[in-house]
Amino acid sequence: MIREFTSPDVVYLMLAARWTIGLALVATVGGGLLGLLIALARILPIPPLNWLAIGYINLIQGTPLLGQLFVFFFGLPLLGFSVGAWTAVALSLSLYASAFFGEIWRGALQSVPKRQWEAGAALGMTYRHRFTHVVLPQAVRIAVAPTVGFLVQLVKNTSLTALIGFVELTRASQIITAATFAPLQVYLTAAAIYFVICFTLSQLSRVLERRLHGTG
Amino acid sequence: MYNNKGRRTMFDLKTKLAGALFAAAAMIAGPAAADLQEILAAGKVRIGVPVDVPPFGFVGKSNEPVGLDVDVANMIGKALGVEVELQQITGANRIPYLVTDRLDMVISAMGATPERAQLVAFSSPYSALAIGVFGPDSIAVGAPGDLGDQTIAVARGTTQDLELTAAAPDAKITRFDDDATAAAAFLSGQADLLATANVVARDLMQKNDGVELNAKFILRYAPTHVGVQQGNPEILRWLDTFVFYHMLTGELSDLTEKWLGQPLPENFPSL
């Protein structure tokens, strides 16, 4: 019954890592778009919008991702909505990422000194122009490192989707471990794959930062 | 590597979430379950099986699900004359999957308990395993009461975990994610004893030279049942008939012998 941990298992783990990357991508795109709106809602000078955004961020950041996944996958069907695993995952990962992206980008935007806004105003630029041409380029540069830092977290957090049936890297490791009873080899392999993904991300971030500084 | 406290919290959280959901399920009329005629008409039955509970459900050489539970699932499909749609499930999500009508049946080495039966319905048992505490001869333990300083590794939330915790509440029990990690803890010397199924202990002994995993005491003989959604007497009755019939033909006993090494006893209980 118990079999050896062999090279086809390593391939299986690598294939499972496609899910890890795919899920992180979905969360990045969905969360990024939504996060942009959240960041805007946080800084536009419209108080009710600010409160709404703050409430949303507190709600999402204050509840565990696991709970959000559960609510979307198992909770909505109880209310009569039929939700597929992909929909549930895309929704909950995007909402989760959007709250964090929103806060990261809000911080980056607000860390651009107020003088820059004032200087733009002194030149007769409109709010929109000051935002897109003066503040945003500087904020993007500031935001790169924390954004990638969160992405690395996100990659690792995709392992929670195993609970609603996704066989991504962590879940695949559990499955192989159960068949081989060789957790050390299996999890070391999985750790190496995670490292490759996350290290690539942080290297990309470094390149991006350097490039943005160069042209800045 | 295993922060027990943190892991417990995670587990408690999952349990609480699941509990909250079931409470919600009780208040709101759940989705209508597919009844037997619908399954026959659709030509498809959705069955959840584990892939991390050898020898009941695990992955074979080309990583396809195999095991006793997978065989039973295919037998059910054949008997119904419909296609089997296998869904991999875990110990934590198998009951939510049933309650939210994502599956028609769960075959997952599941023991029937009064608590679980409040949420799902159980068929007559199709197989059984003996769970107990295993270890080297040098440790003189013959009953739960003899446990002292020894650390016992166990897979969390399993029947052996529940039984051992009830039988020896003061024992030093270390809980792991699954049988394989619990076994690794024992093999690496992090734990003195291992609480698991007899068949797993036997396989571990065969695979690892010089490892002694002899039965210290057997906690329970644990029959395993098919779980189905509540409010569906036709499916339940059909399953009981299926189990009854294949007990008489001896096929279920043969399956148990194939995967667990021993046939079912003569006077095997039914539900």
- Lowest pLDDT segment from A73-87, B182-196, B213-227: A73-87
pLDDT tens-digit readout, B24-63 = 544 444 445 568 999 999 999 999 999 988 899 999 888 8
Measured on CA atoms in the order B146, B187, B200, B104, is the torsion positive or negative? Answer: positive
Q: Is B130 in contact with B218 (CB distance < 8 Å)?
A: yes
Q: Report pLDDT for B29.
A: 45
Q: Do A66 and B17 touch (CB under 8 A)?
A: yes
Residues from A contacting B (CB-CB < 8 Å) are: 1-3, 8-9, 12, 64, 66-67, 70, 73-75, 77-80, 82, 162-165, 167, 174-184
- Architecture of the A7-215 domain: Orthogonal Bundle (1.10)
When pLDDT is cut at 50, 70 and 90, the band that residue B180 belongs to is confident
- Fold observed for domain B130-221: D-Maltodextrin-Binding Protein; domain 2 (3.40.190)
* pLDDT at B145 > cutoff 50: yes
Q: Which residues contact B156 (CB under 8 A, 6 or more apart)?
A: B7, B11, B175, B176, B177
Which one of B52, B190, B196, B203 makes the best mutation probe of the A interface by having the most chain A beta carbons within 10 Å?
Answer: B52
Of the candidates B137, B143, B134, B173, which has an alpha carbon nearest to the alpha carbon of residue B155? B173
HEC per residue, A123-191: CCCCHHHHHHHHHHHHHHHHHHHHHHHHHHHHHHHHHHHHHHCCCCHHHHHHHHHHHHCCHHHHHHHHH
Q: Which residues of A touch B62 (CB under 8 A)?
A: 8
Nearest to A39 by CA among A111, A91, A88, A93: A111
Looking at B104-178, list the stretches that DSSP marks H as alpha helix, in order from N- to C-terminal side: 159-167
Q: Do A1 and B204 touch (CB under 8 A)?
A: no
Positions of CATH 3.40.190.10 in chain B: 4-128+222-260, 130-221
HSE-CB of B36 using CA atoms within 13 angstroms = 13
- Could you give the percent of chain B with pLDDT greater than 70? 87
A163 to A53, A59, A89, B84, B88: CA distances (angstroms): 29, 22, 11, 22, 10
Mean pLDDT of B3-28: 48
**Chain B residue closest in CA terms to A163:** B93
Residue B21 has a pLDDT of 54
The token pair at A47 is 């108080």
More confident of the two residues B9 and B94: B94
A78 vs B24, B61, B89: nearest CB: B24
Please give the pLDDT value at position A76. 87
Q: How far is A182 from chain B (nearest CA, A)?
A: 7
pLDDT at B34: 67
Interchain CB distance below 8 Å, A8 and B204: no
**For residue range B197-208, what is the model confidence (pLDDT) as tens digits?**
988 898 899 888
Cβ distance of A178 and B63 shorter than 8 Å: no
Of B181, B203, B204, the CB nearest to A183: B181
Distance of CA B140 to the CA centre of its chain: 29
pLDDT score for B19 = 55
Proportion of chain B in helix, strand, coil states, percent, rounded to 5: 40, 25, 35
- Contact criterion met (CB < 8 Å) for A179 and B28: no
Residues in chain A where the model's pLDDT stays below 70 = 214-216
Identify the CATH class of B4-128+222-260. alpha beta
Q: Break chain A into its structural domains and give their ranges.
A: 7-215
Question: For B79-123, what is each residue's pLDDT tens digit?
Answer: 999 999 999 998 778 888 998 889 999 999 988 888 889 999 999
Provide the pLDDT for residue B271.
85
pLDDT score of A209: 86
pLDDT above 70: residue B267: yes
Strands B151-155 and B193-197: parallel
Instruction: Identify the pLDDT of residue B5.
Output: 42
Which residues in chain A have Cβ-Cβ distances shorter than 8 Å to B21? 70, 74-75, 78
Question: Alpha carbon of A44 to those of A34, A48, A115, B50, B244: distances in Å?
Answer: 15, 10, 17, 50, 69
**Distance from A15 to chain B by nearest Cα, in Å?**
12
CB-based contact A162 B96, cutoff 8 Å: no
Task: Give residue A75's identity as a one-letter amino acid code.
Answer: G
Please choose, from the candidates B169, B175, B168, the residue with its C-alpha nearest in 3D space to the C-alpha of residue B191.
Answer: B175
